[in-house]
Each structure stands twice: as C-alpha cells, then as structure tokens.
Amino acid sequence: MVDLHMHTTASDGRLSPEELVKLSLKKGLNAIAITDHDTISGIVPAVKYAKGKGIEIIPGIEINCDEEKHGFKEAEVVGLFVDYKNNELNKFVKKAKQDRLEQKKKIVKKLQKLGFDISFEELKSGVKGTLGRPHIAMLLMKKYPNKIHSIREAFEKYLGAGKPAYVDRESKSGIKEAITIIKKAGGTTFLAHPGIFPKEKAIKLIEFFKKQGGQGIETYYPYYIICPRLKIDKKENTKIIKFFQKIAKEKNLLESGGSDFHGGDRQTINSVTIPDSVLKKIKKSSQLTLNLKSFENKR
C-alpha cells in the first residue's frame, strides 16, 4: 500500500520526518510522499532515515493557492517526484516561508486583541519547521485548555477563513504558478482533495486546473474523517472516490491521493486504501515527461 499525501513537522504535522517514516512502516506502507505545505525541508531527513528499511520516500510538496478571481478562494496543488535541489523550487519555498511568518504575526496580534495572552516569540519557539495555523491552535490549547479543546475547535472559533483571528497570506500562488514551479522541478502535478468542494464547483476547478497544465487529481481521500461538515460515512466516502475516478478517466487525468496525515486528531493513515498501481502509473508518466525533456534539451 502507498500514501501519497502526508505532512511532518516541517510544516504543520505533529511527527518529525523520521517519526512519520517509522509509523508508516508500522502501518505496512511500502511508499509514502512527503508533501508538506510550501516547504521541502522534511524530505531529506525522511530519505536518510528510510534508507535500507524497505520503504520508498517520494519527494513532494503541497502548494497553497488562491484563485479568488476565478471563484476558488482556496485550492491546493500537490507535486510528486520533485527535485528538491531545484533552484526555482528553493527560491519559492524561501519566499513562502517569509510570507507565512508575516501572516502568523498578524494572526497573533488579532488574538491578542481578542484577549489571548500569547506572543509571536512564544509561538515560534515551540515550532521546529514551517509555522502553520495548527501551531497557533496548539498553543491556544496549551494555554487555554478550558476554552480550546482541539485544533478543529480553534479553527472553527478563531483561525478558519472568516473567523475573528483569520488573516490571509498576502502573496499566495495562483494555480498556474504552482504548476509551473512543480514542473520546473521535474514533478507531476495534482489537484488536492477536490471533494472538499460541491460537485459542480469541483468539476469547474478540475477543468480550470487541467487548462493550466495540471496532470492529475487526488481521487483517494478520507473526507469522512477530515471533513465532518460533509456528514458522510466510509461507504459514502467510497462513492466520492468512485465519482472522481470517473472524472479522472473522462478527462484523461492521472489519479493520486492519500491520508493527508498530520497526526494529533488527524490519525488518518490507512483510512483509504491506495493500490500500488496508482503509484506505478504516476511513475510511468513522470518518466515519460523526463524523457521528453531530455529529448528537447538535446535538439
């Protein structure tokens, strides 16, 4: 089994890259993709730890995008098999890191005005990787256990879009930019978890994504765990997976997916079963792309 969407402490996950590899082995996975938000710093530690342990580490990234002018305020693009040494990719993640820091400073200021006694220095001192909103949620849980009981509650009350302490990033990437960055780094691009949108909107987003050069969509995803607002069970989740598999086939798009594992209250490993054949098709496509690039460079 494989899992092609996982997060570590390099972004907003609860486990270090090494801990994630160890848990994945315990869960019987033979390949995992490290797809931290707007960063690639978790890849090398995972690769080093996994060496000789019988598990493949796929270098990846999940880029947060904004296409509000096209009706999609938040969308995410996953890149798999990226060259994490690529200069353009490294420039992008450096810029994204600074942008995220500025956003978190503003969120902390809003929370202070709402009466929470926290500071940015206090927040940053407890974070090893890229600072994310879940880290703020965890700090709120730690300091105000009687008021904030979970990360989900922190988002629902304060940190989610439209909530009192929400602050958007000033320079989010567009989908086209994200696709270009990933492709320049030799990666294959996927629209993340389209099922978080209503079906008609999801189809429009998939069509837009493909027009921008996108190559696949995540068909496998545990919506029944991660999106409680959908109020679905595992059986209905399977129907959503089949729906997007049909869309992928109709539009000649690759399939991918994963648990979107973060740890904490996101214990989702093996919540959906992704066959090895999915990874094999992605690898075949990636190799064709690399061969074509090699041919073009020699012309």
Residue 216 belongs to domain with CATH number? 3.20.20.140
29 is a domain residue? yes
Please say which residue of 129, 159, 189 terminates a domain: 159
pLDDT of residue 157: 93
pLDDT of residue 129: 67
The pTM for the full model equals: 0.87
Strands, DSSP E only, in 103-253? Answer: 188-191, 216-220
Extract the residue ranges of the chain whose pLDDT is less than 50.
Answer: 292, 294-299
For residues 139 and 23, state if they share a domain: no
Q: Beta strand 188-191 with 72-80: parallel, antiparallel or unpaired? A: antiparallel
pLDDT of residue 97: 86
Please say which residue of 118, 134, 159 terminates a domain: 159
pLDDT of residue 295: 36
CA nearest 31: which of 256, 219, 287, 240?
256
Angle, CA 15 vertex, CA 164 and CA 241 arms, to 5°? 75
pLDDT of residue 294: 45
Give the DSSP H/E element, type plus range, for residue 62: strand 56-67
Q: Are 220 and 1 in contact (CB under 8 A)?
A: no
Which residue segment(s) compose the domain that 211 sits in? 2-94+172-298
- Say how far apart CA 87 and CA 80 lie, in whole Å: 17
- Say how far apart CA 49 and CA 182 lie, in whole Å: 25
Identity of the residue numbered 130: T
For residues 202 and 248, state if they share a domain: yes
